[in-house]
Amino acid sequence: MRVLSGIQPTGRFHWGNYFGAIRQYIQLQDEADDAFYFIANLHALTTIRDAQQLWQNTLDAAIDLLALGLDPEKATVFVQSDVPQVSELCWLLMTVTPMGLLERCHAYKDKKAKGLAAEAGLFAYPVLMAADILAYDSDTVPVGEDQVQHIEVCRDLAGSFNHLFGETFVLPKAKLLDSSAKVPGTDGEKMSKSYGNTLEVFEEPAVLRKKIMRIVTDSRPVDQPKDPESDHLFQLYSLFASPEQREEMAQRYRRGGFGYGEVKQALADLAVDYFAEARQRRQQLAARPKQVQEIIGDGGAVARRKAAEVLLRAQQACGVKPR
C-alpha cells in the first residue's frame, strides 16, 4: 500500500485538522509500505496572494507536521512545488479532461454560484490534485469527505488516459478519514477556519485557556442534569480524555450539580497537557529552520525521483517522448 495525501498551508492547524486528518496520517505512516505527505502550496496559491504569508505558512505547516509526529524516517514529507514533474503531468492530464467534469466540481461550482469570478487555477484544481496522486503511483489516498469527489475525478482521468494510451497510471482509492472524528468549534458548529471558531493545536496555553473559557454553552442551571452526548463541550473534552475520564465526566453531566466552567477548566488542562511534548518539539524545530528545510528538501528529492519515473512513462505513452 502506498499512501499519499496533501494538506493546504492556509493557516495554523486546529484541533479539527489534527483529529480529523493529521493524527490519522501519522498512524498510517506505520501501516503503509510507503507514505507520501506533502504541503499543497500550489493549491493554496488559489486563495493566498501574499508571497511572504504563503512561504511562512508552508514552513509553519512543515514544522507543525514534524512536531506532531510525521517522521521523515517513515514517510516522505515534502512541499508540492518542489516536484515540477507534477505540474508537467497536470498538463498531460488536462488534455484528457472534459470541461463538464470540472464544471461539476464543488470548489469552482460554489464560487461561481456565489456570483464570484473564478480563476482557471481554481477550475483546474482537481486536475492538479489528480497529478499529485498519479505522479507517485499512489493507491490509497486518505481524505475527508469533501475531497472524495476529487479522487473520483482522478480515477476518471487516469482511466481515460490509460484507455487512450495504454496502461500508464495506477488507479487510486480514497480512504475516507474517520468522520466520527468531526470536531466541533467554539460555537458548536464544525470547527473550520472559515467559521472563525477554531482552537489551534499550537496556541499559547494562556491564550488557549481564554479561548476555551469563551466556548459557547447553553444556559441550563448548575443543578440540572445534562445530556453529555449532545454537548459540544463534552465532545471536545472526549478528544483528550481517557475512557475513564470520559465516563466520569459523562456521569457528572447526568447527575447535574456542576457548572460548565469546571468542564472548560478540565478541558484546558487536558488539551495543554496532550500537546505539551509536541509543543516542545516544535520549539526545537522552529529554532532550527535550516534543519527543517533540509528535511523537506530531502523529501522533495525522493518525491522528484519517483515522479520523474512516472512522468516519463506518461510522456512515452502519449508520444511527447520517444519510447
**Interface residues with ligand ADP (CB under 6 A)?**
7-8, 10, 16-17, 20-21, 143-144, 177, 181-183, 190-194
Closer to ligand TRP by CB, 90 or 268: give it: 90
Active-site residue, selected from the candidate residues 111, 112, 175, 182:
111
Q: Which amino acid is at 207?
A: V
Closer to ligand TRP by CB, 129 or 266: give it: 129
β-sheet bridge partners, residue 78: 38
Helix (H) or strand (E) holding 76: strand 76-79
Distance CA 80, CA 88 (A): 13
Distance CA 111, CA 118 (A): 7
Distance CA 46, CA 6 (A): 15
In terms of Cα–Cα distance, which of 69, 134, 148 is closest to 106? 148
Shortest separation between residue 248's beta carbon and ligand ADP, angstroms = 25
Shortest separation between residue 171's beta carbon and ligand TRP, angstroms = 14
In terms of Cα–Cα distance, which of 58, 5, 104, 50 is closest to 293? 58
| Interface mask toward ligand TRP for 91-130; x: CB under 6 A | --------------------------------------x-
Does 133 sit near ligand TRP (CB under 6 A)?
A: yes
182 is catalytic: no
Closer to ligand TRP by CB, 142 or 188: give it: 142
φ, ψ (nearest 5 deg) of residue 257: 80, 30
Active-site residue, selected from the candidate residues 74, 109, 190, 211:
190
264 is catalytic: no
Shortest separation between residue 43's beta carbon and ligand TRP, angstroms = 5
Segment lying near ligand TRP (by CB under 6 A), choices 57-65, 139-147, 222-230, 251-259? 139-147
Shortest separation between residue 6's beta carbon and ligand ADP, angstroms = 10
Distance CA 99, CA 176 (A): 26
What strands lie across the sheet with 140-143, from one edge to the other?
A: 76-79, 34-39, 2-7, 140-143, 173-176
Does 132 sit near ligand TRP (CB under 6 A)?
A: yes
290 is catalytic: no
Does 43 sit near ligand TRP (CB under 6 A)?
A: yes
Name the DSSP letter for residue 167: S
Q: Residue 238 contacts by C-beta under 8 Å, 6 or more apart in sequence?
A: 246
| Interface mask toward ligand TRP for 6-35; x: CB under 6 A | x-x---------------------------
Place of cell 475527508: 144
Torsion, Cα 180 183 187 192, to 10 degrees, reads -120
Active-site residue, selected from the candidate residues 74, 175, 182, 193:
193
Does 197 sit near ligand TRP (CB under 6 A)?
A: no
Closer to ligand TRP by CB, 174 or 295: give it: 174
Q: Which amino acid is at 51?
A: A
Residues of this chain that bind ligand TRP (CB under 6 A) = 4-6, 8, 40, 43, 129, 132-133, 141, 143, 147
Residues with active-site annotation: 111, 190, 193
